Structure 1
């Protein structure tokens, strides 16, 4: 009967000959053999290993040596388990002693014996046995919890000792510096994992201090006390790479557990005060309302404040998920930033999220006090951020990007639509305006917003006039043009000359939302009011130009069921940064005829 299982951990499948040699060196007649590896290596190992070798194979999500050993230990059925790496060779003397001693040795709780190791590094046998920082030693262990009763060893202390030495284990380390760097990288990953299990809540400053301090201590301590220097060239190379393990292990800790959002995710329930900074366009703020709702759904007791532009305040007023709204100009001065920081510093925020961050808002967030500060921007450089989502190269929408971001930091976002909350008084005021302007409530109303903050995104005022004239004169639909005071002032004469019955409105954003809410269709370009109409569930036609179709507009919002539609052309000249759009004079992305848009509008209205 076999009493020992030898567990062989494979953490790197680049040298499969080592794995074969390791398995071939083990006496399968004496020992159970179990190969454990990450799931990604299972197929490649199974294809190359000799099926005649008598071993079992198990896989898992673990990638570290220690993690793989712990996983295999749960599957072992023998009283004793030997843990080695695939780069280890068990000598015949060592195997004989392991088999004999494990049969007669009276075990006790947590019985563990570390095996002696002879190291070969850069093809040379070293004078001293060297272990990488964080590398677990090969050892023998008794499975006390499963086999204590049958061995009559409950609480029994051993009075005899293992034969010392039992024999040698040969460890074949990397043969070249390039392979040694790969090995050091694997142990840096394992070091980061071990540190996280011991200290899961280290902050960035502590990580930096520990990285510098422990790296230097390991380097000089290894040279002085571990006698790496006496192994000449090989020992010095080992010392340098081991310094790399500690230093980069802490950097990997920061990247894997802090910067990735995992640490914040674990601490999310402790968050009580949140500041969401969104100093951007009004439409961008409208598209962020699902983010507010998801944050409040996950943390119902948390207070969420919003800092946004003065012009965007109107689209989030009366939002039940917001505690307080602060405002700044879109391009604030240093004095305005300083004044806002003074007001916000009195509030102790646990989490500050700066969506679509820019230099001015990053500086503002940097001056505030909070445990977590996140500056996020998928298209530009993210700076001074505790958690990073990274540059997005796909065509996912801003809403989906924000959902991905929320998932990363522990929220559980659901697919909520953008929303704007109007009061009954605001709805009544909108109806009063329409009545006073001569609109008939029994006839359908079409609102046009032919303007954009960027001329490159405009379909053209003449096309909009032609479309509105057809709907008004031919099909008898009421038309209303909305925009800023300057926009309406510049176009009023040309529109009125061709559509005498057209009505204009250049009031506040909040009041314009009330009018849009009473309409039957809104037609516009890539602008704020087409976002607003979708948020208040009014059918919308968007004439999209150079911007990617679903980047600012989530595709689930533009369906036949919702009666929302985007006119858009797939073009090879459109890249991630829209580099060709500034020099384009043909505007082929806007080649949609008035008749085509008219047909779509009539289908929606009917």
Structure 2
């Protein structure tokens, strides 16, 4: 009876935290579990010895830049709880490297993570006999030689693949979620707290399983190197930005085109903010994929590296963006954010901390869609108006520090 309840509960949690097609997903997971169980029984990791100290810790998180920023509070708490342990972060490499620069981990190891390749089909991403999966298995076999005492499957998904990763890496004690499958791969299964659905809080709950303080953690402030800070000041001075100017940063990009509100709409908000508040506008561009600044918008283009982006962004009083990595950079810098959300759940991914505004429609039954829109265009984004985003900008500029989500009613409500 208990097992039946567990299965029903995991299915419910998967529907909340995973994709809308959770039933089909969990069906595939059950097949994967049936195949994995005999193998894991033949090659178990070294057993966890309670008398042994924690010398080496592995954290697996395959996320992108924004996910790494959401992992930072967990890593800081982990570092405080195990100050003498060596903490190794395994993930995609590039996005994780700055966490080592911030002193939150001792080492970052790049691992081929096949299911994060957006330009390949779902079948290719989850085909265990593909070369990417072979490289994934090879990387984790190498990690197994490190003999980790403790391993965490972090990130937002509670994914069986994350649980498999720390099992393959041979961590003696393995902590993670089981609602998306793979409980048998863990030594410590964490029960999801639905009252704290944000990814930051879900990561912190992994530590609570070990008895670490459960109080909500503040945003981890980013440390900006002195050279980058000086270069940012010089850049702004060259463009006529003074210390007393109201500076609004605008970043119109996102990791998926479905999450983009539209350059012209961002530009219109920027024009109105400039006229209404006398603000100067920074238009943040990806240096590898620059966007044309819309006509008639007086803005300073910022197309710089990630390290330089942090330094320039730290001078903004407001940051306007989509759900994106730079959104979390601004939040970590304690810059008030106005974020336009569409396909993703704001409760999970909103900017963490106080003083932010999230603009989102609450009448979209198809959210979350895992960036696979069923309509001709993402109406969750297109139906948000310039006036509604301008209202959120005005709240922040008028120094309203209350942290809230601006839920928008359907037209006519």
TM-score (norm 1): 0.49
Alpha-carbon separation, structure 1, partners of 2:365 and 2:91? 34
Q: 1:447 aligns with which of 236, 246, 249?
A: 249
Alpha-carbon separation, structure 1, partners of 2:284 and 2:371? 30
Q: Are the equivalent residues in 1 in contact too, given 2:249–2:313 (CA < 8 A)? A: yes
The answer to whether residue 102 in structure 2 is matched with residue 304 in structure 1 is no
Q: What residue is the counterpart of 1:567 in the other structure?
A: 359
Q: What residue is the counterpart of 1:381 in the other structure?
A: 181
Alpha-carbon separation, structure 1, partners of 2:137 and 2:303? 33
The answer to whether residue 380 in structure 2 is matched with residue 589 in structure 1 is yes
Which secondary structure does the structure 2 equivalent of 1:275 belong to?
strand
The answer to whether residue 78 in structure 2 is matched with residue 295 in structure 1 is yes
The answer to whether residue 148 in structure 2 is matched with residue 349 in structure 1 is yes
Cα pair distance change 1:267/1:289, threshold 3 Å: farther
- 1:41-190, aligned counterparts within 5 Å? none
Q: What residue is the counterpart of 1:469 in the other structure?
A: 271
Alpha-carbon separation, structure 2, partners of 1:361 and 1:596? 39
Q: Are the equivalent residues in 1 in contact too, given 2:256–2:371 (CA < 8 A)? A: no
Q: Are the equivalent residues in 2 in contact too, given 1:286–1:315 (CA < 8 A)? A: no
Please, which moves more after superposition, 322-331 or 399-408? Answer: 322-331
Instruction: Give 1:519 shift.
Output: 1.4
Alpha-carbon separation, structure 1, partners of 2:318 and 2:369? 30
Instruction: Give 1:348 shift.
Output: 2.8
Deviations 1:57-111 (A, max 9, x none): xxxxxxxxxxxxxxxxxxxxxxxxxxxxxxxxxxxxxxxxxxxxxxxxxxxxxxx
Q: What residue is the counterpart of 1:205 in the other structure?
A: none
Instruction: Give 1:583 shift.
Output: 0.9
Cα pair distance change 1:512/1:376, threshold 3 Å: farther
Which secondary structure does the structure 2 equivalent of 1:568 belong to?
strand
Q: Quick check: which has more Rg, 1 or 2?
A: 1
Cα pair distance change 1:393/1:579, threshold 3 Å: farther
Which secondary structure does the structure 2 equivalent of 1:326 belong to?
strand
Deviations 1:370-404 (A, max 9, x none): 212345476x4346333323677667111222222
The answer to whether residue 205 in structure 2 is matched with residue 404 in structure 1 is yes
How many aligned positions are there? 333
The answer to whether residue 305 in structure 2 is matched with residue 508 in structure 1 is yes
Cα pair distance change 1:312/1:524, threshold 3 Å: same
Cα pair distance change 1:317/1:405, threshold 3 Å: closer
Q: Are the equivalent residues in 1 in contact too, given 2:192–2:202 (CA < 8 A)? A: no
The answer to whether residue 179 in structure 2 is matched with residue 367 in structure 1 is no
Q: Are the equivalent residues in 2 in contact too, given 1:466–1:594 (CA < 8 A)? A: yes
Deviations 1:29-59 (A, max 9, x none): xxxxxxxxxxxxxxxxxxxxxxxxxxxxxxx
Q: What residue is the counterpart of 1:482 in the other structure?
A: 284
Alpha-carbon separation, structure 2, partners of 1:447 and 1:432? 17
Instruction: Give 1:338 shift.
Output: 5.7
Instruction: Give 1:451 shift.
Output: 1.4
Instruction: Give 1:339 shift.
Output: 6.1
Alpha-carbon separation, structure 1, partners of 2:195 and 2:330? 26
Q: What residue is the counterpart of 1:325 in the other structure?
A: 108
Instruction: Give 1:538 shift.
Output: 0.8
Alpha-carbon separation, structure 2, partners of 1:405 and 1:392? 11
Q: Are the equivalent residues in 2 in contact too, given 1:276–1:355 (CA < 8 A)? A: yes
Q: Are the equivalent residues in 1 in contact too, given 2:247–2:317 (CA < 8 A)? A: yes
Alpha-carbon separation, structure 1, partners of 2:339 and 2:51? 38
Considering Cα pairs closer than 8 Å and 6+ residues apart, tell me whether 1 or 2 has the greater RCO.
Answer: 2
Cα pair distance change 1:394/1:571, threshold 3 Å: farther
Alpha-carbon separation, structure 2, partners of 1:580 and 1:284? 16
Instruction: Give 1:293 shift.
Output: 1.6
CA RMSD, aligned part only? 3.3
Structure 1, unpaired ranges of 5+: 1-180, 183-262
Instruction: Give 1:460 shift.
Output: 1.8
Q: What residue is the counterpart of 1:550 in the other structure?
A: 347
The answer to whether residue 327 in structure 2 is matched with residue 530 in structure 1 is yes
Please, which moves more after superposition, 337-346 or 428-437? Answer: 337-346
Instruction: Give 1:341 shift.
Output: 3.9
Deviations 1:7-43 (A, max 9, x none): xxxxxxxxxxxxxxxxxxxxxxxxxxxxxxxxxxxxx
Cα pair distance change 1:269/1:597, threshold 3 Å: farther
- 1:162-241, aligned counterparts within 5 Å? none
Alpha-carbon separation, structure 2, partners of 1:553 and 1:388? 26
Q: Are the equivalent residues in 1 in contact too, given 2:175–2:206 (CA < 8 A)? A: no
Cα pair distance change 1:364/1:603, threshold 3 Å: closer
TM-score (norm 2): 0.70
The answer to whether residue 229 in structure 2 is matched with residue 427 in structure 1 is yes
Alpha-carbon separation, structure 2, partners of 1:572 and 1:460? 19
Q: What residue is the counterpart of 1:4 in the other structure?
A: none
Which secondary structure does the structure 2 equivalent of 1:515 belong to?
helix
Q: What residue is the counterpart of 1:540 in the other structure?
A: 337
Structure 2, unpaired ranges of 5+: 3-46, 117-131, 399-413
The answer to whether residue 377 in structure 2 is matched with residue 578 in structure 1 is no
The answer to whether residue 295 in structure 2 is matched with residue 497 in structure 1 is yes
Deviations 1:192-244 (A, max 9, x none): xxxxxxxxxxxxxxxxxxxxxxxxxxxxxxxxxxxxxxxxxxxxxxxxxxxxx
